[in-house]
A and B are shown apart, each in its own frame.
Chain A
Amino acid sequence: MTQFLEISGLCARIDADGQEKEILRGVDLTIPPGEVHAIMGPNGCGKSTLSYVLAGREEYEVTAGSVQFHGQDLLAMEPEERAAAGLFLAFQSPIELPGVNNANFLRTAVNAVRRARGQEELDAVAFLKAAREAAKSLSMAPDMLKRNVNVGFSGGEKKRNEVLQMTLLQPSFAILDETDSGLDVDALRIVAEGVNRMRSPEFSALVITHHKRLLDYLKPDRIHVMAKGRIIHSGGPELAEQIDTEGYTRFLAEAA
């Protein structure tokens, strides 16, 4: 059976002030369909870079390795083609779009991916119905659809808005980059429930987090420890507990 997402030997660097900086140094990671995997690791280990490289951010130069997604060469695709193919990235810091109405943005995005996937576009009525339901399930105030995308949103509202977008865009693979950061206990539960509602044999996710609490809700199938641009250790859900009490020191020492 073909793997759903297969990352092999992925190396990437960024040009920072004229200096080439290696960030990913050979990432190997396979995520089968229907599974939720988590990546944990110290600050600056390359977690967010991995998410950006998978989503196709152009500042990063891939220097080696490959990524297969649904049997396609992911790295050869434009960011919007990756989105149409089913990849979604929930941003760590969602971007503000002044003057752009949230509902309009969502509908434009949903219909762009639907078109690319050969599905019929949603008309305004059908879309608004779906959007209102999804917003309600995330306990979002209805006026958030009318406001400008992420402008003046609190940290928690921005994260919920990311999950709302994910719900409507129906990806087959979602990367959640510290979606739990800045959320209070209740918001965390609501967001986690939103992700759990997506779970199906056709949906996988890669969750980047520093905290065990989100993983308690999401119950990941595998947990990976990342350090210095590599996956240095992988294990079952129990790993979260271990990291929570012991930190990363032991894994770093083992890797060295």
Chain B
Amino acid sequence: MPAVTETREAVEKLGQSSYKWGFETEIDMDLAPKGLNEDTIRLISARKEEPEWLLEWRLSAYRAWLTMAEPKWAKVSYPPIDYQDLHYYAAPKKKPGPKSLEEVDPELLRTYEKLGIPLHEQALLAGVELPEGEVARTPVAVDAVFDSVSVVTTFRKTLEEAGVIFCPISEAVKDHPELVRKYLGTVVPAGDNFYAALNSAVFTDGSFVYVPKGVRCPMELSTYFRINARNTGQFERTLIVVEDGAYVSYLEGCTAPMRDENQLHAAVVELVAMEDASIKYSTVQNWYPGDENGRGGIYNFVTKRGACRGARSKISWTQVETGSAITWKYPSCILQGEGSVGEFYSVAVTNNHQQADTGTKMIHIGRNTRSTIIAKTISAGQSDSTYRGLVRVLPKASGARNFTQCDSLLIGDQCGAHTVPYIENRNMAARIEHEATTSKISEDQLFYCRQRGLSEEDAVGLIVNGFCRDVLKELPMEFAVEAQKLLQISLEGSVG
């Protein structure tokens, strides 16, 4: 029997091992009734005690959404979503803040434990107040989004001293309304696309970051997004504004409970970088991908966009996408400021019946703007993965440069990898390069590793991590390690 077949079968077997971080927490929920209408939106806005202008903004987004149709151009297929059959608001029931871990809902702690969050960080996440003067050890600020309401925000003090605002966006609406109002929807307008409009109408929470002029944010900002209530679509809204000469590195990491029903997720992330500002936005996405038959799993329809408004500003997106049944995601950069820089580094892994259509858009508006796109796609099982990218150079973008590299790695003969690069150039002084490769893990490589004592699983993991190295090295160090483990798990549950 040809060894290729055996390897394929072996890898498929690996792929079917169950989702390691699948679990669901039972916590008293405060649910809005199913369905989407103006009343639902008014309820959300009222629960969040929002100002009138925001309610109006939500309602206008909703009205725009009503006139829009779901986009059909992506290479993904799924049964129709009944938007009236979802809850649009869920919040853990409020209790007074716990004083120690003993007072925290043990279910919540068990969830954190399964996620491998260290104990002292668990305390922070669960809202236990640290004794005066005690400083947490990890220099990572965590703003936990537990379902829709941010359970707690940590490290506020250190950040406040630096002048950095990092808080749930619902709090920012109350505490910094002028900032939110100035920037919300300026990068991704309320009616930008079907999912962005939906998000604008019903977003329940997310993060807000503001880094003032000349400040280098003293720590990595990290948010653990979690989806936890049955049938609750999650609609986070993240807004990051970085003023002149300032810098921030932000990481979002996701794990989700295992469940049977498809869950809709439509987040919007907006980034604004002013003159000489730099934003590094990293994502490790590991939502439940569905079982080996493609049942269940998250639908992830995300709009992420950054505006390089100031000269020499820089926005760098790094993403490791291993989860979700369906991924529809194109983190983009609008390169407006002269000499501004956009980067997109991506690893997308699909296994079993997962479908991913992901890539980026680099819009060169200003002179001498530069962009780099490195996309690594790994497909296993019967999955389908598409890189879809747009490089657009507008007439005034003299001296614009783009380099794109798309590499696909196939495991087995039942998966698909597709590359759809769009290039629109309207300035003859621009330089655009595109490279693409497709390869398979060879029998020789697997045998070589196994002869040295590595299990087939470890061998695949090592080879895949090697394939992704150019992207993984862009992640902040501590998360690069996490991402490597995740690739390995996905390729137990995917490849590598």
Contacts and interface: CB of A to CB of B under 8 A. Distances in A.
A169 interface: yes
Contacts of B452: 83, 105, 109, 112-113, 165, 169
A113 B458 CA distance: 13
A72 interface: no
A91 B454 contact: no
B453 A95 contact: no
A225 B115 CA distance: 60
A98 B467 contact: yes
Contact of A112 (B6, B447, B458): B458
Contact of A95 (B2, B444, B455, B465): B444
B454 A95 contact: no
Contacts of B462: 97, 100, 104-105, 108
Given A59-B3, A80-B455, A112-B455, A99 B450 contact: no
A133 interface: no
B470 interface: yes
A79 interface: yes
Interface string A88-113: 11010011111110001100111011
Given A15-B2, A99-B467, A108 B458 contact: yes
B453 A99 contact: no
Contacts of A59: 2-3, 443
Contacts of A96: 445
Nearest to B459: A80
The prevalent SS among residues of B at the interface is helix
Nearest to B2: A15
B445 A109 contact: no
A99 B445 CA distance: 13
A89 B454 CA distance: 14
A120 to B, nearest CB: 15
A148 B467 CA distance: 11
Given A99-B466, A100-B462, A108-B462, A116 B453 contact: yes
Interface in B391-421: none
B450 A80 contact: yes
Nearest to A116: B453
Contact of B453 (A98, A104, A112): A112
B431 interface: no
Interface string B356-375: 00000000000000000000
Residue in B453, B454, B455 whose Cβ sees the most chain A Cβ within 10 Å: B453
A97 B453 contact: no
Interface in B426-448: 442-445, 447-448
Given A57-B447, A79-B447, A148 B2 contact: no
Residue in B7, B447, B467 whose Cβ sees the most chain A Cβ within 10 Å: B447
B468 interface: yes
Nearest to A95: B448
Interface string A139-159: 000000000100000000000
Given A59-B3, A95-B444, A97-B445, A79 B451 contact: yes
A241 interface: no
Interface string B468-495: 1110000000000000000000000000
B463 interface: yes
Contacts of A94: 448
Contacts of B6: 58
A78 B453 CA distance: 10
A146 B488 CA distance: 22
Given A80-B454, A112-B454, A58 B448 contact: no
A100 B463 contact: yes
Interface residues of B, number: 27
B450 A83 contact: yes
A99 B470 contact: yes
A24 to B, nearest CB: 17
Interface string B1-26: 01100110000000000000000000
A83 B7 CA distance: 19
A78 B456 CA distance: 10
Contacts of B465: 99-100
B496 to A, nearest CB: 11
B451 A99 contact: no
Contacts of B466: 97-100, 148
Contacts of B456: 80
Interface string A203-232: 000000000000000000000000000000
A113 B449 CA distance: 12
B345 to A, nearest CB: 14
Contacts of B454: 80, 108-109, 112
A113 B463 contact: no
Nearest to A59: B3
Nearest to A55: B451
A167 to B, nearest CB: 13
Contacts of A99: 465-470
Contacts of B453: 80, 83-84, 109-110, 112-113, 116, 169
Interface in A162-203: 165, 169
A94 B470 CA distance: 23
Contacts of A116: 453
A50 to B, nearest CB: 15
Nearest 7 interchain pairs by C-beta: A99-B466, A100-B466, A109-B452, A113-B453, A83-B453, A95-B448, A79-B450
Interface of A: 15, 55-59, 78-80, 82-84, 88-89, 91, 94-100, 104-105, 108-110, 112-113, 116, 148, 165, 169
28 contacts: A55-B447, A56-B451, A58-B7, A58-B443, A80-B455, A83-B451, A83-B452, A83-B453, A84-B453, A91-B448, A95-B444, A96-B445, A97-B463, A99-B466, A99-B468, A99-B469, A99-B470, A100-B462, A100-B465, A104-B462, A108-B454, A108-B462, A109-B449, A110-B453, A112-B454, A116-B453, A148-B466, A169-B453
